[in-house]
Amino acid sequence: MAEPWATLGIDLHVEPTGPGLRRGLTDALREAVRSGRLAPGTRLPSSRALAADLGIARNTVADAYADLVAEGWLTARQGSGTRVAEREVVPPTGTAPHPRARARPAYDLRPGSPDLASFPRAEWLKASRRALNAAPHHALDYGDDPRGRPELRTALAGYLSRARGVRADPERIVVCAGFAHGLKLLGTALRACGARTVAVESYGLDVHGRLLTTSGLDIVPLPFDRLGTDPVGPAAADAVLLTPAHQFPMGVPLHRDRRAAVVDWARRTGGLVLEDDYDGEFRYDRQPVGALQGLDPGRVVYLGTASKSLAPGLRLGWMVLPPDLTEQVAEAKGGVDTCGVLDQLTLAEFLTSGAYDRHVRATRLRYRRRRDALVAAVTARAPEARVTGIAAGLHVLLRLPPGTEQSVVQAARWRGLAVHGLTQYRRPGALAEPVDALVVGYGTLPDHAWSGALDALCAVLPG
């Protein structure tokens, strides 16, 4: 038979001090409430449970609770138990005040996230149950293979080969906690192999450049012109980081001649191409552009992620690596698997069952409808803005009249509309002509908010 204290359910750390148990307990509880350690509304253990935990008489706890109820520190109601009273908590002297939470925008049109309301919760839960039921017990141990679970690497190899044209071997796939983690691991591995410089696109995310420089690598910008990025790296570059299927944020694919040219550069110089395929599955008017990696798996590192297709919070990404780099990246990961096993097993089941394909096809249709509504609204109501980069992805580029970007961004902020100007993504030393534009994401908002967001957007665009 279980001991009585084992079934009482609520733990509370409290240390009675001073003369007398009742007074010591009362003082300790009062101080815990006053300091904010016990937040307003917190339910306390029953007098029997706390007495059992502390090894004292139940009446002592009941009397201490009664004293604090009378003083207004606690409340006691039939059926609700004893709780900390709702009152303002004064932080201890010297405690820094909590920063105010930023007001959420009425409409969030910043790029980078999918519609989280469309996450396939029911299907994911089913896949999780199937995966957990089928998983061997040892799968839940510390992962001794830094590349990740073999079930997921095998499922990814099949999917990427079929859907993205990647030449993938499960032995050369390393699972990581999203693209940024993968890039950090690559930076460490490249530096260990003697690399010094990585060429990057003139427009992109600053965080990616910082990850490379933190690894001890120098970054240099690539030219950008009417054909998009000119990817042939400078003579001193050891690697080139590209978004070839859908350049972020300009929205154009890498020109076919330049796809061949950058692979030739890598073969000729021994360099590497780092391919960020962040949203390659979302192309709307024709078949998706195949992965650059398919042209030469020995010179191109393919990086993918579930952040756009499912949700960033899963923290799941993957790299398909050349044979001579796989071991170095695995070592950079630390010799163990640091990604959650249950999510890996669930994604593997999600892929092999076909649920991932069904989800991507359904969301692709939803995002295409949003894109079409955005293009139609801007064309009709703000003719001075030109929509480009619409063939794929979860964002478009709205080109503005020269000199108007900052005023439009400010006007949007006043209306509760979160949107980024293109200047935010222009790298220092960019080899590209400055352009006034907005980078408008249409993935983040739920469907019911899209019409209102378009009204707010068109209201701030020059018309």
User: Torsions phi, psi of 221, nearest 5?
Assistant: -80, 150
Q: Tally Cβ neighbours within 10 Å of residue 218.
A: 14
DSSP, collapsed to helix, strand or coil, labels residue 423 as: helix
Nearest Cα residue to 442 out of 355, 377, 382, 359? 377
Q: Token pair of 130, please?
A: 């199937």
Question: Quick check: is 92 in a domain?
Answer: no
Clarify whether residues 69 and 199 are in a common domain. Answer: no
Question: Quick check: is 171 in a domain?
Answer: yes
Domain that holds residue 450: 108-113+363-460
Q: Are the C-beta atoms of residues 249 and 274 closer than 8 Å to each other?
A: no
On the question of pLDDT at 284 being above 60, the answer is yes
Q: Are the C-beta atoms of residues 411 and 460 closer than 8 Å to each other?
A: yes
- The pLDDT confidence band at residue 20, using thresholds 50, 70 and 90, is confident
Domain boundary among 332, 357, 382: 357
The domain total for the chain is 3
Clarify whether residues 227 and 158 are in a common domain. Answer: yes
Clarify whether residues 61 and 182 are in a common domain. Answer: no
CATH number, position 380: 3.90.1150.10
CA–CA separation, 194 and 191 (whole Å):
5
Clarify whether residues 263 and 197 are in a common domain. Answer: yes
What integer is the mean pLDDT of 129-135?
96
Q: Token pair of 388, please?
A: 């480009």
Question: Quick check: is 204 in a domain?
Answer: yes
Clarify whether residues 70 and 158 are in a common domain. Answer: no
Q: Encode pLDDT of 356-393 as tens digits.
A: 999 999 999 999 999 999 999 999 999 999 999 999 99
On the question of pLDDT at 98 being above 60, the answer is no
What integer is the mean pLDDT of 191-200?
95
Question: Quick check: is 102 in a domain?
Answer: no
Clarify whether residues 186 and 301 are in a common domain. Answer: yes
Predicted local distance difference test score (pLDDT) of residue 88: 64
Domain boundary among 295, 322, 357: 357
Clarify whether residues 434 and 339 are in a common domain. Answer: no
Q: Are the C-beta atoms of residues 108 and 117 closer than 8 Å to each other?
A: no
Predicted local distance difference test score (pLDDT) of residue 298: 96
Predicted local distance difference test score (pLDDT) of residue 211: 96
CATH number, position 59: 1.10.10.10
Strand partners of residue 431: 223
List the single range of 71-85, 249-263, 351-365, 424-438 with lowest mean pLDDT: 71-85
- The pLDDT confidence band at residue 95, using thresholds 50, 70 and 90, is low
Clarify whether residues 64 and 129 are in a common domain. Answer: no
DSSP, collapsed to helix, strand or coil, labels residue 405 as: helix
User: Torsions phi, psi of 235, nearest 5?
Assistant: -60, -30
Q: Are the C-beta atoms of residues 350 and 433 closer than 8 Å to each other?
A: no
Rounded to two decimals, what is the model's pTM?
0.86
Clarify whether residues 126 and 210 are in a common domain. Answer: yes
CA–CA separation, 428 and 259 (whole Å):
25
On the question of pLDDT at 234 being above 80, the answer is no
Predicted local distance difference test score (pLDDT) of residue 92: 54
DSSP state of 313: G
CA–CA separation, 455 and 115 (whole Å):
19
DSSP, collapsed to helix, strand or coil, labels residue 408 as: helix
Q: Angle at Cα 386 formed by Cα 380 and Cα 388, nearest 5°? A: 120
Which amino acid, residue 418?
Answer: A
